[in-house]
Amino acid sequence: MSDKKIIYLLLLSKIFIKKKLLKKVDFFGGSQWWALRTISLKKIISFVEKNPNFSNFFKDALIPDELFFQTALVNICENNTTAIKPKIVYLSWDKANDLSPKTFLIKDIAEISSASTEKLFARKFDQTLDQQVMDEIDRNLKKLLSE
């Protein structure tokens, strides 16, 4: 059996594994593109250390990056509330039903630049499609840093 087939079968098995949900855990999912404060990370580490079954539950999860930290945060906050600030990652969707955000090209530099006042990062780029956009961002950053 080829490596590709083995990987495919492993992925399929993860999709169809039936898991018993953890008791007293409110599950929550969201984007894996986020930033956390040190205090929040310390609370998550403490929560995970006190609840070893929590980490074990996510070991063979299909999309743990979109569930683990979000679920931990929801469960460490008093009254299941937390202050969530706007995202610091800029992304744009060409169409509402797209599965992935658009890939920025040089023609999108004005859009990216206008978003940079509130965002620290942007997603997504592909140097094989358009190296110019990355070069232009670098030039703009150097200019800002030299002012």
pLDDT at 83: 62
pLDDT at 22: 74
pLDDT at 81: 56
State how far the alpha carbon of 137 is from the alpha carbons of 17, 64, 105, in Å. Answer: 44, 32, 11
pLDDT at 139: 92
The per-type count for the chain, helices as H runs and strands as E runs, is 6, 2
pLDDT at 34: 76
Q: Say how far apart CA 100 and CA 93 lie, in whole Å.
A: 7
pLDDT at 109: 92
Q: Give per-residue pLDDT as tens, 99-124.
A: 788 999 999 999 988 887 778 888 89
pLDDT at 129: 94
Q: Give per-residue pLDDT as tens, 67-99.
A: 888 888 888 876 655 566 677 888 888 777 777
For the entire predicted model, the pTM comes to 0.58
Q: Give per-residue pLDDT as tens, 43-58.
A: 889 999 998 888 888 8
Q: Say how far apart CA 82 and CA 35 lie, in whole Å.
A: 14
Q: Which two tokens stand for residue 43?
A: 């609370």
> Percent of the chain scored above 70 by pLDDT?
79
Q: Say how far apart CA 103 and CA 129 lie, in whole Å.
A: 9
